[in-house]
Amino acid sequence: MTLASFVAKNALRNRRRALLTILSVAISCALLVTLLTLQRELTTPPESEASSLRIIARNKVSLMQPLPYKQLTQIERIPGVKQVSPFTYFGGKFRDEEATGWAQFAVDPARFRQLIIEGRITDGSYEDFIRDRNSCLLGRDTLDRYQLKVGDKLKFTGTFYPVDFEVRIAAVYQGTVDDRNCFFHHKLLDELMGGWGMAGTWYLCADSPAVVNDVINRVDATFANTSAEVRTETERAFQLSFVSMFGNVKLLTGAISLVVVFTLILVSASTMSMAIRERFRELAVLKALGFQRRELAGFILAESFALSTLGGALGIGGAWAFWNQMDVLTFGHLTLQKLTKGFMPYFEVTPRIMATGAIVAAVLGIVAAIMPMITMSRTSVVEGLKTLD
Amino acid sequence: METSHGPVEPIVQIRDLTKIYRQGDIDVTALAGVSLDIAPGEFVVLMGPSGSGKSTLLHLLAGIDRATSGTVLVQGINIANLNESELAGWRNQNVGFVFQSFNLIPVLTAAENVELPLLLTALSRSERKAQVRTALELVGLGDRAHHRPDQLSGGQQQRVAIARAIATDPALLVADEPTGNLDAKSAADVLNLLQRLSREAGKTVIMVTHDPKAASYGTRSLHLEKGEVERDVRATSFTP
Ligand SMILES: Nc1ncnc2c1ncn2[C@@H]1O[C@H](COP(=O)(O)OP(=O)(O)O)[C@@H](O)[C@H]1O
Ligand SMILES: [Mg+2]
């Protein structure tokens, strides 16, 4: 036997409690890591310049309410607007699917080109897409998922819109935050709707990051007091507006993280105290045998530290696996990007967040040991021997 | 250091030992100026009514409690002069403890329990193992080395505790009512063992007991009464 194996045996003597301690630390650490990841997600600025330039204007009344097509020419003339395209969520069902998890948008292909500049064309040609109003631009992920190829026909059934259509794959894109979408001609939708004359939203691109805010204000102002007022915001803000209470989420996640850490400390400290208290007599015996206070303090600390770092490793590792390896765990069926349809492109447990979690677990192991160590060193051998006697 | 009391230098010299517990406004005198010498190899039995100070005396001379006044010299060392950590080291090398309730560590096997005090020594793993085996064989439990306390009878547990007490080969063995939780047969085994350790291994054994039969195993009995030594009787003959 060694001192280390002695500590290990003591730590595991009450298996159920050791397990509960480890699990409570693990769950709390996983929660903490998730909250920190969420907070990062919600506060990370757009990662590319292209996306920081993009703006979305929608009907002020509701996202479901379309906007008159004639607004296009007015927006085009606003200083600082480099490009604008209609951007209408079709939300149809593909083939015979019950529900289709990827979106179709009606756009003006010639204008849209400047709005999807991260996307590389991997198959077919964008010119072909522009030329043929019965064609579409399809994301690589969807192409691969259904084992499609350029030239294949895609059939969609409307859900919001009472129309069905079929389009030919003219080009395939890859490299955006969401490579699953299908873009088709707004003209086609307009025609099918019998000269609709409306658009779902406007998708804009500003000249430079410096003018983004001005453009937003100008677009809003242009349609103020008209029958179709708009609400304009950056693409990122638009995406995040789907996360309710965005403004307070950062504060909220911060507060919850603190509560989690605090609760974690209380829970672990009390289980640790319990574990030590029921061993007071043994600690007294060890003292009588010649073990010194600092050695016994070392045992307590090692036990507490081992349990909490084990729990931490489990929780942090679990959170990492769950969030970052979701596609691997589900054999490619699920990713968070897919789940949130690209609204959470940065939701990733980073090494930095994992390190924060590890530090919390380690500190916890130390803090939880403090009270038991103090009580142990204050108790004399004779007092300790009397307990439970 | 030569003394005038006899040819053998005492292993324990106690002078005017006093222990007063302060409980609020009341002072409880547990020991009231005890003086006595114990020679090496003696088997001293401490007797007396409950509350007479037997345990207190044992704790003071074993270095797990501090006196209010007076001195305890063990092998010439005034243990009051040792600080906490020196005292811990001193106990490890010089005192073996046997308790009424065995006090083995439940998660450790008999061998591991015996090894505990050896972990504090400079002995190598194999030396520790050898010493553990010797101690367990000496108490007749060589075949129970890998049993945990809950797999042993009370008498066996107490013998493991004795093996643990002698593991570092200390000169002093202190035992506070070691047979208090045992049946007559196991008690006799334990008492025989302590007697053998004093006779054959030269250990100085100091044992607290209530049981007059247990007292008959000793070479000397001290009767305490209200914190003072009332009678000090040396046995003229040993128990068969
Ligand atoms: N920690 C303590 N606080 C107060 N009084 C104590 C304490 N320990 C022992 N005493 C008192 O000291 C006296 C002697 O106790 P003790 O040595 O345990 O007696 P014995 O072992 O002979 O029964 C008793 O009156 C007891 O109440
Ligand atoms: Mg007593």
Q: What does residue A58 show for φ and ψ, rounded to 5 degrees?
A: -130, 170
CA B128/CA B146 separation, integer angstroms: 15
- Which among B85, B103, B107 has CB closest to A10? B107
d(CA A331, CA A207): 42
Cα separation, A67 vs A85, in Å, equals: 12
Q: How many whole angstroms separate alpha carbon B74 and alpha carbon B78?
A: 7
Q: Is residue A293 part of a domain?
A: yes
Other CB atoms within a 10 A radius of the CB of residue B111 amount to 22
Q: How many domains does chain A have?
A: 2
Contact between A286 and B116 using a beta-carbon 8 Å cutoff? yes
Report whether pLDDT(A346) > 70. Answer: no
Residue B1 clears pLDDT 60, i.e. is over it: no
Average pLDDT, chain B: 92
By C-alpha distance, which of B220, B108, B22, B12 is closest to A289?
Answer: B108
Identify whether A239 is part of a domain: no
Which is the closest atom of ligand 1 to the Cα of B22? 4
Q: Are residues A74 and A150 in the same domain?
A: yes
Task: Name every chain A residue with its beta carbon within 8 A of the beta carbon of B88.
Answer: 287, 290-292
Range of the domain at A321: 3-45+247-386
Q: What is the mean pLDDT of chain A?
A: 87
Q: How far is CA A161 from CA A15, A26, A72, in A?
A: 60, 48, 21
In chain A, the N- to C-terminal Cα span, in Å, equals 28
pLDDT score for B221: 93
Range of weakest confidence among A241-250, A371-380, B168-177: A241-250
Alpha-helical runs (H) found in A146-211: 186-192
Q: Taking each helix axis from N to C terminus, what angle separates B84-94 and A293-324, rounded to the nearest 10 degrees?
A: 100
**Quick one: average pLDDT of A291-303?**
92
Report if residue A51 sits inside a domain.
Answer: no
Average pLDDT for A329-338:
65
Q: A23 and A71, same structural domain? A: no
Give distance in angstroms: CA of B208 to centre of ligand 2.
7
The ipTM (two decimal places) reads 0.92
Q: Which ligand is nearest to the CA of B227?
A: 1
Is residue B9 assigned to a domain?
Answer: no
> Could you list the residue range(s) of the whole structural domain that residue B165 is in?
40-52+82-234
Give B6 or A134, the one with higher predicted confidence: A134
Tell me what percent of the residues of chain A surpass a pLDDT of 70.
91
Kindly state whether A281 is in contact with chain B, defined as any CB-CB distance less than 8 angstroms: yes
Q: How far is CA B23 from CA B18, B30, B64, in A?
A: 16, 12, 20
Same domain, A278 and A346: yes
pLDDT surpassing 60 at residue B27 = yes
Domain annotation covers residue A196: yes
pLDDT in tens, A194-227: 999 999 999 999 999 889 999 999 999 999 999 9
Asked if residue B191 is part of any domain, the answer here is: yes
Ligand 1 atom 7, closest CA: B21
In a domain, A52, yes or no: no
Instruction: Examine the fold and report which residue of A177, A198, A228 is the final residue of a domain before the chain moves on.
Output: A228
C-alpha span between A107 and A113 (Å, rounded): 10
- Find out whether the beta carbon of B21 lies less than 6 Å from any atom of ligand 1: yes
CB contact under 8 A, A9 and B115: no
In a domain, A56, yes or no: no
Per-residue pLDDT averaged across B85-105, rounded?
Answer: 95
What confidence category does residue A348 fall into, taking pLDDT thresholds of 50, 70 and 90?
confident
pLDDT in tens, A262-273: 887 788 778 877
| pLDDT of res. B237 | 54
Question: In whole angstroms, what separates CA B187 from the centre of its chain?
Answer: 16
- Looking at the structure, tell me whether residues A85 and A40 fall in a common domain: no
> A241: pLDDT confidence band, cut at 50, 70 and 90?
low
**Claim to verify: residue A197 and residue A291 sit in the same structural domain:** no
Query: Among A194, A228, A262, where does a domain finish?
Result: A228
CATH code assigned at B104 = 3.40.50.300
> Which residue has the CA at smallest separation from atom 4 of ligand 1?
B21
Q: Is residue B89 part of a domain?
A: yes
> Of A106 and A236, which is predicted with more confidence?
A106
Do A330 and A219 share a domain, yes or no? no
Does any domain span residue B126? yes
In a domain, B211, yes or no: yes
Could you tell me whether strands B220-225 and B204-208 are parallel, antiparallel, or unpaired per DSSP bridges?
A: unpaired
The whole-number pLDDT of residue B193 equals 96
Q: How far apart (Å, rounded) are the C-alpha atoms in residues B187 and B209? A: 11
How confident is the model at residue B235, as a pLDDT?
78
- Would residue B161 count as lying in a domain? yes
Give the ligand with the smallest distance to the CA of B50. Answer: 1
Judging contacts by C-beta atoms under 8 Å, the chain A residues touching residue B112 are 1, 6
Side chain identity, residue B131: Q
pLDDT band at A115 (very low <50, low <70, confident <90, very high): very high
pLDDT of residue A262: 83
Q: What is the mean pLDDT of residues B172-182?
A: 95
The reply to whether B58 falls in a domain is: no
Residue B240's pLDDT is what?
A: 46
CB-side neighbour CA atoms (13 Å) of A304: 29
Asked if A139 and A180 count as a contact pair (C-beta separation under 8 A), the reply is yes
Q: How long, in residues, is chain A?
A: 389
Interface probe with B: pick from A1, A6, A13, A385, most Cβ of B within 10 Å: A1
Write down the pLDDT at residue A121.
Answer: 95
B23 versus A56: the higher-pLDDT residue is A56
CA distance B133 to B143: 10
Helix residue spans in chain A (DSSP H): 3-11, 15-43, 49-53, 71-77, 109-112, 126-131, 140-145, 186-192, 212-222, 235-240, 246-277, 280-288, 293-324, 326-329, 336-339, 351-378, 381-386
In chain B, which residue ranges form alpha helices assigned H by DSSP? 54-61, 84-94, 110-115, 125-138, 154-166, 184-200, 212-215
User: Would you call A282 an interface residue with chain B, using a CB distance cutoff of 8 Å?
Assistant: yes
Is residue B105 within 8 angstroms of chain A, CB to CB? yes
Q: Indicate whether this model's pTM tops 0.80.
A: no
- Contact partners, residue A129, CB within 8 Å, separation at least 6: A109, A135, A136, A137, A170, A171, A183
Give the tens place of pLDDT for each residue, A59-93: 999 888 999 999 999 999 999 999 999 999 998 99
B31 belongs to a structural domain: no
- Is it the case that residue A383 has pLDDT exceeding 70? yes
> A75 with A178, same domain?
yes
Nearest to B92 among A289, A294, A380 (CB): A289
Average pLDDT over every residue of B105-112: 95
- The pLDDT, as a whole number, for residue A245 is 45
Nearest-neighbour CA in chain A from B192: distance (Å): 23
| pLDDT level of residue A388 (50, 70, 90 thresholds) | low
Count how many domains chain B has: 1
User: What average pLDDT does this structure show over B201-208?
Assistant: 96
Residue A351 and residue A216 share a domain: no
Nearest one of A184, A187, A231 to A65, comparing CA atoms: A231
Q: Using a 6 Å cutoff on CB, does residue B56 contact ligand 1?
A: yes
A166 and A35 part of one domain: no
Q: What is the pLDDT of residue A389?
A: 43
Number of Cβ atoms within 10 Å of the Cβ of A290: 26
Shared domain check, A195 and A331: no
Q: Which residue has the higher pLDDT, A44 or A323?
A: A323
Cα–Cα dist A289/B93, whole Å: 9
